[in-house]
Amino acid sequence: MYRYALWRLVSLVPVLVGVAFIVFTLLYITPGDPARMALGDLATDEMVWEFREKEGLNDPFLVQFGRYLCNAVTKGDIGRSYMTKSPVLTELAASFPDTFKISAFAIVIALVLGVPFGIVSAVKQYSIFDSITMLFAMIGMSMPVFWLGLLLILTFSVHLRWLPSSGLDSFRAMILPSVTLATQSLAIITRMTRSSMLEVIRQDYIRTARAKGQRESVVILRHALRNALIPIVTVAGVQFGILLGGAVLTESIFSIPGVGRLMVSSIKMRDYPVVQGGVLFIAFAATFVNLLVDLLYVHIDPRIDVRQ
């Protein structure tokens, strides 16, 4: 198992280098001279030239990428903000906990509600409950997260005054952003649970379990759900990665000082190293979550042989 985990970790390296390459290329092709942006409009041509030489910006593209990668791996240096001049990684590390907090709460909401809704929908296929749940799931999948956030603010903060519309300093403040962020994942997990359960409850071993006289709850929860869990866990893992990325919009609406809001404000100020660093950071986090999900499979389904 440990060898498998290590192998999976090593196999992530090329993907992460690839992500870094794409992010670096995008930064490289961005119009505008990074030296001029860092030094400001008042800098003379000599100062710009000196900066370019010092930072290695006159070197060929691949040399620059090699140095970027080397600095990222050895020093954790993925550039400096044009605006604050501080290291991008320091800024990202300061804002990541808030992003993680609302994303984690959102995935918990999506799982706690989505799995039971999906199970009942599958067990009561074609019932009114099933139709209503599937309709709401479809609406949830179609709802723009930034619009839902604004509607929730309008209803629960402006009109009812029940919950705060910004910040993340209390549990109450976490509710609206997390619900906003969770909605799409909730819809997807509900649909996936339903379809995965429908596949399983038609299997012979479920009929056998029923024929043995086991209670319906045992048949569904112990026999069916356990076997339907792999696709649900896969989707939940992918969704968590998407939530980390999707938090960009939610944080911007609810004024949460996370990675997403940092990226949006950096986009507005054309502070590209922070934008690209944010993409890199979240892509790393999402890839790592997917690795954890892969490792979880072995615990969920003992038939999976890691040696293969």
Partner 1 sequence: MTPRNRGTAWRVVRTLLRNRLAVLGAAIILTLVTAGVFAPLVAPRDYARQSLERGYETPSKDFWLGTDQYGRDVFSRIVYGARISLAVGFLTVGIGLSVGVLVGVAAGYYGGKMGNILMRLMDVLLAMPSILLSIAIAASLGPGLFNLMVAVGISSVPRYARIARGSALSIREMEYIEAARASGSSDLHILTRHVIPNCMAPLIVQATLGVASAILNAAALSFIGLGVQPPFPEWGAMLSEGRQFIRELPHLTIFPGLAIMITILGFNFLGDGLRDALDPRLRN
Applying CB under 8 A, which part among 69-77, 97-105, 150-158, 209-217 lies near partner 1?
150-158
Restricting to residues 98-137, name those near partner 1 by CB under 8 A.
none
Spatial neighbors of 63 by CB under 8 A, at least 6 apart, are 56
CB of 212 to partner 1, least distance (A): 26
Restricting to residues 11-40, name those near partner 1 by CB under 8 A.
14-16, 18-19, 21-23, 26-27, 29-31
Q: Which is nearer to partner 1, 1 or 122 (CB)?
A: 122
Applying CB under 8 A, which part among 70-78, 89-97, 106-114, 238-246 lies near partner 1?
238-246
The residue among 35, 27, 75 whose CA lies nearest residue 54 is 35
How far is residue 52 CA from its own chain's centroid? 35
φ/ψ of residue 93, rounded to 5:
-65, -35
Radius of gyration of the chain (CA): 24
SS3 116: helix
Q: Which is nearer to partner 1, 132 or 218 (CB)?
A: 132
Q: Which residue from 106, 233, 256, 263 is in contact with partner 1, where contact means CB under 8 A?
A: 263
Question: Which long-range contacts does 117-121 make (Cβ < 8 Å, 24+ apart)?
Answer: 117/190, 117/193, 117/194, 118/189, 118/190, 118/191, 118/192, 118/193, 118/194, 118/196, 118/197, 118/232, 119/193, 119/194, 119/197, 119/220, 119/225, 121/190, 121/193, 121/194
CB of 138 to partner 1, least distance (A): 6
| 177 makes contact with partner 1 (CB under 8 A) | no
Q: Which residue from 88, 110, 163, 249 is in contact with partner 1, where contact means CB under 8 A?
A: 249
Chain residues that interact with partner 1, rule: CB under 8 A: 14-16, 18-19, 21-23, 26-27, 29-31, 138-139, 141-147, 150-151, 153-154, 158, 194-195, 198-199, 241-242, 244-246, 248-249, 252-253, 263-264, 267-268, 272, 275-276, 279, 282-283, 286-287
